[in-house]
Amino acid sequence: MLQGDAMVEPRLKVGLMLPQIDGMRQRGITRWIDLKVMAQLAEDVGFDSLWLVDHFLYQLLGEDRGRGAWECWTLLSALAATTRKVELGTLVLGIGFRNPALLAKMVDTADEVSNGRLILGLSAGYHELEYRAFGYPYDHRVSRFAEAIQIVHGLLRHGHVDFAGEYYQARDCELRPRGPRLNGPPIMIGSIRPRMLELTARYADSWNAYYDDTRNSVETLRRLREVVDGACRGAGREPATLERTVTVLAADADGDSWWNRLPTPHGELALKPLSGSPAQMAAELRAYAREGITHIQMCVDPTTPQTIEAFARVLESLRQAERA
């Protein structure tokens, strides 16, 4: 972007993932009162957004049983009422866990409570353990997603849908009253699979790559960007109209590397977390921005008031570099 005769670097949004899963990114269970304190602190020190995962049980490779997790939408609604200005997003919501027409109603209501700060992140889900435990169908997840996104998108964008599919129905369904945004909040889809990318190009405002997809690497992200661009062109969409986001892991490399035991299929390629001085970490975030990323969700291990305050120095270094 030009300002006078100088090139001004666009402002990179940086958000924070809050801890919800028992024993991951914090010791033991994080209570609501602790999450509220961390959320408000993150808002005060300069984070642009707060993000929640959507899991019921989560089992790392090699573990005997699943870890518990706080339900995403209940926490998001509470955050909408107890924060002032940060955007609030789901990273990402398993669309098969909730009836899609009801989900659209929930989304518009939460957007009302937050005064238009919601970002709806969606996926088809992947962790079979929680589907089986809570009684949700695990088969044909992308086909189910393809029907559900038509209902959610239609209701949020137009306020009405009349849909009958193999998995979902919403007959002459209306969304009333409407929240603060007539066309609803932005929709973000997180996936790198070909059919999901096709649906992203058709229905989403933004795309997300998680750090287990990128292996926390700018170079891997660069290759994925080309794939996403191709999906947009295949759908007849200009690639520049799809916002790009990425989740980045920051941690002590000498700590417990639970991130290499995630139940996602990435072979033996180890993931290296972001670390270093505030200036070094800010420089790495700017490298993502140069690849077209406009919003980064930071997963900080561990996530505590102390590490949130420490990461504020990274945000300060980033903003200074953007102004330089």
Contact 180, 115 (CB under 8 A): yes
Whether 162 maps to a domain, the answer reads yes
**CATH code of the domain containing 55:** 3.20.20.30
What is the mean predicted confidence (pLDDT) over 14-41?
Answer: 94
Q: What is the mean pLDDT of the chain?
A: 94
| pLDDT on residue 86 | 98
| pLDDT on residue 163 | 98
| pLDDT on residue 264 | 86
Q: Residue 3's pLDDT band (boundaries 50, 70, 90)?
A: very low
Helix (H, G, I), strand (E, B) or coil at 46: coil
Query: How confident is the model over 206-262, as pLDDT tens digits?
Result: 999 999 999 999 999 999 999 999 999 999 999 999 999 999 999 987 778 899 999
Query: How confident is the model over 96-131, as pLDDT tens digits?
Result: 999 999 999 999 999 999 999 999 999 999 999 999
Q: Does position 74 have pLDDT exceeding 90, yes or no?
A: yes
Q: Which residue has the tokens 């939408």?
A: 73
| pLDDT on residue 9 | 65
Q: Does position 48 have pLDDT exceeding 70, yes or no?
A: yes
| pLDDT on residue 266 | 66
Which domain, by its residues, includes 246?
Answer: 11-323
Whether 3 maps to a domain, the answer reads no
| pLDDT on residue 37 | 98
Length in residues, the chain: 324
Q: Does position 57 have pLDDT exceeding 70, yes or no?
A: yes
What is the mean predicted confidence (pLDDT) over 47-75?
Answer: 96
Whether 4 maps to a domain, the answer reads no
Whether 310 maps to a domain, the answer reads yes
| pLDDT on residue 6 | 43
What is the mean predicted confidence (pLDDT) over 143-168?
Answer: 98
What is the mean predicted confidence (pLDDT) over 179-187?
Answer: 97
Q: Does position 1 have pLDDT exceeding 50, yes or no?
A: no
| pLDDT on residue 268 | 62
Whether 225 maps to a domain, the answer reads yes
Whether 272 maps to a domain, the answer reads yes
Whether 96 maps to a domain, the answer reads yes
Whether 28 maps to a domain, the answer reads yes
Helix (H, G, I), strand (E, B) or coil at 160: strand
Overall domain count for the chain? 1
| pLDDT on residue 4 | 45
Query: How confident is the model over 268-309, as pLDDT tens digits?
Result: 678 899 999 999 999 999 999 999 999 999 999 999 999 999
